[in-house]
Chains A and B, each alone.
Chain A
Amino acid sequence: MPAATATLGPLCSDGSATYTSPEGYTITGAVNGPIEVQRRDELPEEATIEVNIRPANGVGTTRERHLESLLHSTLRSIILTHTFPRTLIQLTLQIVSTPDKMGYGGSRYLNLSSSLPLLPSLLQTALLTLLSGAIPLRTTYTSTLLAVSPAPSPSEKPTIHTSLITPQCLASATSLHVFTFTPAGDLLLAESEGSFDIETWERVYERAEAVCIGDGEGVAGVAGEGDEKAGANVKGLQGMEIDSEEEEEDEGGVRLLDAGVEEAAPAVSKKETPQNLGGWVKGVVEAKVKEDMRWKNRN
């Protein structure tokens, strides 16, 4: 399975990230903020969040507006908007490329023209962009897409596909589901499409939880740390501190605490291959911090 890849800080804006999902969606995100807000959008008690999604070809349609509204409501509950009243946090997500679907019948199947397969990649890019831009967050999150295809025989249960959902898989699926979890295990977003019953949904929910935040076995440490973090709130991101007031020495805003350097280093060696998506996000940010902080570790 091709792994997801991400680069933090490829652009000059306050925060930016490029994310490529295993399915082949490549998205570049940029965030500017907190900046001056226009009078009509100004909120007296919190920061205004603006999300722009731009398709690779053509102009945005209702599909992009719908995705924007989903992202907006998710991010609004994540970003500590109350710390920046009367300002604007402006997030732009540019879809660079999407996997080729024409060879599989194009729009003949409803699922192939659905907006759900794009949603986890957008959410993941948004998170990495916000982390790169040092926007204070309440918590991080991870998001995944699951497809349910009909059972091979009537006696069995429908099959759930979790990783690498190919266009063929999408075309044959009866329902699609997107789940987003915080590291503490709270459900942030659940979007479903197609026909399914509540029993299937519950099975899908459990699988999604395992993909995003681990099944409590090999990755128990992550879940435990997550619990701690939920209490610590702003402190956030497992041994790292997000600090926007600090004058940054370099690009990229996520910064390790002095104590965090020692703490984070063994954590990487402990889990060289991240077992879940949360571990993957952590790995990406740690790699970037390590690169930016190499001047510090030299002596």
Chain B
Amino acid sequence: MPREAELSLNEREFILQALRENTRIDGRAFNAFRDIELTFGDDYGQVDLQLGKTRILCNISAEVTTPFPDRKFEGTFMISTEFSPMASPAFEVGRPTTDEVILSRILEKAIRRSSALDTESLCIIAGEKCFSIRADIHILDHDGNLVDAACLALVAALRHFRRPDVSVEGEKVTVYSLREREPVPLAMLHHPLCVTFSYFHGGETVLLDATHSEEQVREAEVTVTMNRYGEVCQIAKYGGASVDALALLDCTGVAHTKVEALDKLIERKLQEDQRNKDLGGLIAELSAENAR
């Protein structure tokens, strides 16, 4: 595959010089995200996220399988982030680039290991049957900050997804189709979101939501994952220039305000979608959920 076109020396210098003069090439403030457009598909668990020119499609699917023998009481949850040549010709099918590996690791830690999804609730019969949830993340367009965008899309999709309802009578399990019974939302314990900080000029300049060209000239990046209550799930820093420890504390503060705003956005979009789907106000009657 052809290598991605690198920025020329002039372009690099231009971006860095502009940053030194407190200007980003797209005119945003240093701690501003690009415009976010979050659209839900007709099916449950289908999200199309646009962050500036970055575009990510996330699809959630569920099927009934046998649980792992060492984890009899838990369902399985898998995140697949396979890059396709659609985003950039530099991505080759079946040969993961370092970006892809890092993205899947960060998402793994942010969502799976922070137990955002309660896998125990996916168990149907211990040791015999459980739900297997699969999240497919497709990168349609790549203009930087894939980590934050993918995490946002994934959390939105998980919150939007509904799994089929089941009933158990002894050993007999009935899985109801979407037409037979109102499907059930996934049990999520919290909603972690990622915010990536990019460092320039030896840590003097800190940017949020870097574009692809900014990513190519940055010296270091730090990804902070936290939920809206300010609980830090991970701080990831894979190499790059060193960053002052006290500066990291500031990062978590900034990340908290950003995560709160992003969480509100998802919440608002979910409510909008629910209102659009709820024709004639019948959803409330169909639901069997207990009031809490």
Contacts and interface: CB of A to CB of B under 8 A. Distances in A.
Interface of A: 11-13, 28, 30, 32, 35-36, 38, 50, 52, 54, 56-59, 90, 92, 94, 96-97, 100, 102-103
B292 interface: no
A19 to B, nearest CB: 14
A12 B143 contact: yes
B84 A94 contact: yes
Given A35-B2, A58-B134, A92 B85 contact: yes
Those 3 A-B pairs whose CB atoms lie nearest each other, nearest first: A36-B2, A92-B86, A57-B61
B141 A92 contact: no
Interface string B86-109: 110100010000000000000000
A12 B141 CA distance: 7
Interface of B: 1-2, 41-43, 46, 48, 53, 55, 57, 59, 61, 80, 82, 84-87, 89, 93, 134, 136, 138, 140-141, 143, 177-179
A13 B140 CA distance: 9
Given A97-B41, A97-B43, 11 more contacts: A13-B141, A35-B2, A38-B1, A54-B138, A57-B136, A58-B80, A90-B89, A92-B85, A96-B48, A96-B57, A103-B179
A124 B229 CA distance: 48
A52 B93 contact: yes
B89 A102 contact: no
A138 to B, nearest CB: 24
Contacts of A103: 177-179
Contacts of A57: 59, 61, 134, 136
A257 B141 CA distance: 31
A59 B84 CA distance: 12
B84 A54 contact: yes
Given A11-B55, A97-B41, A28 B179 contact: no
11 contacts: A12-B53, A35-B89, A54-B138, A56-B59, A57-B61, A58-B134, A58-B136, A92-B86, A94-B140, A96-B48, A97-B43
A30 B136 contact: no
Contacts of B143: 12
Nearest to A106: B177
A58 B59 CA distance: 9
Contacts of B86: 11, 13, 28, 30, 54, 92, 94
Contacts of B82: 54, 59
Contacts of B48: 96
Contact of B138 (A32, A35, A50, A94): A94
A35 B85 CA distance: 12
B89 A52 contact: no
A38 B94 CA distance: 15
Nearest to B53: A12
Contacts of A32: 85, 89
A52 B179 contact: no
